[in-house]
Every structure is written in C-alpha cells, then in structure tokens.
Amino acid sequence: MLSKPSNNHSSAVPYFDSLPKKFSEGDADALLAFGRHLHWGYWANPDTADGSVADFAVAAENLTRRIINIADIKDGLNILDVGCGFGGTIASLNEHFFNMHLVGININKEQLNRAKETIKIQQNNRINFIYGDACKLPFTNDSFDIVLAVESIFAFSSREDFFREARRVLGESGKLTICDFIPIQAFYQTWKLIEKATKTLLVRTYGSRPVNFCSMSEYQKLAEATGFELIKIDNITRNTLPTYPVVNSLMRQEGDEETYRATRGLERLSRRGLLQYMILSFQVSPL
C-alpha cells in the first residue's frame, strides 16, 4: 500500500531528480519503486498486475531482463549503459553474467554516487561508473560490444549525436539497443504541435533536461544516416500499462498536480495507442 502524502512537497524539483533526497529521508515507496531501476515495468500478462509498488519493482526488473534478451547479451562482453540512472541495468547484468566489463555513464552525479555505493562486483566482472555526456562519450573507438540506452534517450540533447557516438565506440559487429516512447506516425504531427506545451510538464516530472520524442520513420532514417541497421522492433506498450496506476499514485503523493498530470497524460496517450513503448535494437551496418 502506498504511504500517505507528505506535507513536505518539493514541487520545484522534478520528481525523479528528488529521489536521492527521498531515499535519505526513508521514503520506503520511492526506494522500492525506483531505488534500483528508473524506468517503467514489464508484465508478460498485464492482467496479473496488482497495483502494488512491490509488483511494479518486480516488473521493472522484468523489463530490464527483456531488454537484455533483445540485445542478445552473453558472458564476456563489454557493455555500455548510457543514462544509467542508479545503475539498475548494470546491477542486473552483474548478477546474471560472468567476465563482463560493465560501464555506466550518466550526467547526474547523485545517481552515479548511489550506483557506486550500492553495486558490488560479482561473477568476475569489472564495473565502472563515469560522469559524462551521452552525446560526447569519453571512450575510444571500438570500445564496446553493446551500447544500451534504457528509457533515457528522450532526454539526450541530440539523438543523432548520440547515435553517431554509439557507432563510434562500438566494434564492427556491435549493437545498440534502446527503449523509448514513440508516437505513432498518424499522431506525430499533432504531437509536434502540442510538444512545446507538454515539455514543461514532462520536465517537472522526469528531470531538468528537455524531453523530446521521435517517430519510427525518423528512427529508421537516423539509423541509416549513422551507420546502423534496425534489426528488432519489440512493441511492449500493452505490457507496460500497469506502470501508470502505481507511478500516478506516487506522483500524486507529492501534492503537485502538474507531476500527476504529466504521467496521466502519457497514460492516456498510451492507452489510446497514440504513444507506443518500444524496444529497438540496431546492428552496426557493414561498410
């Protein structure tokens, strides 16, 4: 059950940016929901969702596992997680694979500090958490086998710059796997008209960096322009929908209607089929 709303509202701070403070204050619901993963949940059968924070936490781990499967990750690889949050994806890889070099990069130092403090090396792996920009990756060419961006790419300053950087740091057989909210083509032009107004709401909830969306056709063009081939499309919109009742409740506890309106708006678009939640995997194109 969700705890009662706090009277100590932090409306000036985006919800996800305020999480480290909530953790330090002992907010059990925030810690369970987002102490490991900063992304939506995945339910193989959405009808089994019970609306609890505990159920959502399991589903968030399940989404990570699905992304790992789509990316074809196996032992012994060099993996870069861009926009790594609190390091949840790195933690899951660390627990399930051997002899990995796992690198998380993030522009949020508080999140990186928590990742460094909470994740302990297992399975003969190597782990590094690095402060840096997704569009200016501080790595040499051909450094990684797989690059991941788990529900983070919409906050990057440029998708094209990120794709070019991902291509640069990947080897010749490398893969880029992302998950993102993608407006359907028929709705995309309408979305562009209202995007300016909605950005304010989304930024108040999801962080201080501007949020932007990209259509599937734009992703395909982007891949071709930056040396990738789109090889897998996994539309899991329906499987993520049980996220919204839980997250909406957590947001509303803040007493700030704007944070609630942001997630409620995403939910309505998703339930109407206008905004899809996709996992996309790209293979480096042969020269």
- Least confident range from 16-20, 44-48, 181-185: namely 16-20
Q: Is residue 1 part of a domain?
A: no
DSSP secondary structure code for residue 247 in this structure: H
Crossing angle for the helix pair 243-252 and 53-70, nearest 10 degrees?
130
Kindly report, residue by residue over 31-86, the tens digit of the pLDDT.
Answer: 999 999 999 999 999 999 999 999 999 999 999 999 999 999 999 999 999 999 99
Q: Is residue 4 part of a domain?
A: no
Q: Is residue 219 part of a domain?
A: yes
Looking up residue 136, the CATH number of its domain turns out to be 3.40.50.150
DSSP secondary structure code for residue 47 in this structure: G
Q: Is residue 10 part of a domain?
A: no
Q: Is residue 115 part of a domain?
A: yes
Domain that holds residue 27: 16-284
Residue 16: pLDDT band with limits 50, 70, 90? confident
Torsion of CA 51, 155, 234, 262, to 10 degrees: 40
| Residue with more model confidence, 265 or 146 | 146
| Residue with more model confidence, 260 or 70 | 70
Distances (CA, A) of 17 to 26, 32, 150: 16, 16, 17
- The closest of 240, 45, 78 to 173, measured between CA atoms, is 78
Strands (E), the chain: 78-82, 101-106, 126-131, 144-150, 170-183, 228-235, 275-284
Domain count, the chain: 1
For 140-177, the DSSP string reads -TT-EEEEEEES-GGGSS-HHHHHHHHHHHEEEEEEEE
Q: Is residue 184 part of a domain?
A: yes
Q: Which residue has the tokens 């193989």?
A: 44
CB atoms near residue 250 (< 10 Å): 23
Evaluate if residue 263 carries a pLDDT over 90. Answer: no
Q: Is residue 256 part of a domain?
A: yes
Q: Is residue 178 part of a domain?
A: yes
| Backbone φ/ψ region at 255: left (φ over 0), alpha (ψ -120 to 50), beta | left
